[in-house]
């Protein structure tokens, strides 16, 4: 079942990217929700008895966000629903990262090391918000709150260094960085300047992010 779920995830991911490239809206409606559904099944069948409710909730709210954003061109309220859904998803991912790490601090980042490692991430997040701020209109506060939670999610992925095995740390942290890239591209395309192939770049980085994060969480459970 685990292998079947993984194959179905890749089928859904490739189908979604093809739908974007070819402009096939009907395929988009079918494949986009299936990405997180199949990834959720893959997680359930891989984690076994160690499956976590907070991870499942992160997946569920990501699915809700994906679904809402499919209709944001119909009514702006769907963008807000998607924004709130992904904000909640990031909160659950933060909880999941803390749940899937050890208490040993010997090899973990400490004090000034944390500040140095966190600085580029914080700078990237605040820099983007500063650039976008004049164009956000009534969404200034919601977008700033979302950006804050997103940066905290990435930092919590970073701070797992030394608290889990190397595979789990790298997968989760790189996945979190891809999430930051994907959301940054989405924000630039929506609020600053639409650019060519934006849909393809946003979804490809988003799919990569979700897959790597879930793989990293599974790696912690399997190799702890």
Question: Which pLDDT band, with edges at 50, 70 and 90, does 73 fall under?
Answer: confident
- How much helix, strand and coil, in percent to the nearest 5, is found in the chain? 85, 0, 15
Distance separating alpha carbons of residues 7 and 52, to the nearest angstrom = 22
In the chain, the percentage of residues whose pLDDT exceeds 90 is 85
Per-residue pLDDT, 158: 95
Distance separating alpha carbons of residues 129 and 126, to the nearest angstrom = 5
Section 99-120 average pLDDT: 82
Mean pLDDT score of the chain: 94
Distance separating alpha carbons of residues 142 and 24, to the nearest angstrom = 31
Per-residue pLDDT, 113: 86
Section 8-25 average pLDDT: 96
Residue 195, both tokens: 């650019």
- In sequence order, the 6+-apart residues with CB closer than 8 A to the CB of 39 are 9, 59, 210, 211, 214
Section 59-63 average pLDDT: 98
Distance separating alpha carbons of residues 95 and 98, to the nearest angstrom = 5
- In sequence order, the 6+-apart residues with CB closer than 8 A to the CB of 150 are 90, 125, 179, 180, 183
Residue 29, both tokens: 């409606």
Residue 224, both tokens: 């702890």
In the chain, the percentage of residues whose pLDDT exceeds 70 is 98
Burial 12-44 (b: 16+ CB within 10 A, else e): bbebbbebbeeeeeeebeebbbbbbbbbbbbbb
**Per-residue pLDDT at 224 exceeds 70:** no
Exposed/middle/buried for residue 110 (C-beta within 10 Å: 0-12, 13-18, 19+) = exposed
């Amino acid at each position: 079942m685990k292998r079947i779920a993984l194959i179905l995830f890749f089928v859904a991911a490739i189908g979604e990217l093809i739908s974007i490239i070819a402009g096939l809206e009907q395929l988009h409606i079918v494949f986009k929700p299936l990405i997180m559904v199949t990834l959720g099944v893959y997680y359930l069948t891989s984690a076994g008895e160690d499956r976590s409710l907070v991870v499942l909730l992160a997946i569920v709210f990501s699915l809700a966000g994906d679904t809402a954003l499919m209709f944001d061109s119909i009514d702006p309220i769907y963008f807000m629903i998607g924004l709130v859904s992904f904000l909640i998803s990031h909160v659950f991912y933060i909880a999941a990262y803390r749940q899937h790490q050890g208490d040993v601090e010997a090899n973990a980042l400490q004090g000034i090391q944390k500040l140095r490692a966190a600085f580029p991430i914080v700078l990237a997040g605040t820099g983007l918000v500063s650039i976008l701020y004049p164009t956000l209109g009534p969404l200034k506060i919601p977008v700033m709150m979302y950006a804050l939670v997103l940066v905290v999610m990435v930092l919590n992925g970073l701070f797992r260094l030394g608290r889990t095995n190397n595979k789990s740390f790298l997968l989760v942290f790189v996945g979190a960085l891809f999430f930051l890239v994907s959301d940054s591209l989405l924000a630039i395309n929506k609020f600053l300047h639409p650019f060519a192939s934006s849909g393809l770049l946003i979804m490809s980085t988003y799919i990569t992010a979700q897959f790597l994060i879930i793989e990293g969480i599974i790696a912690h459970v399997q190799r702890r």
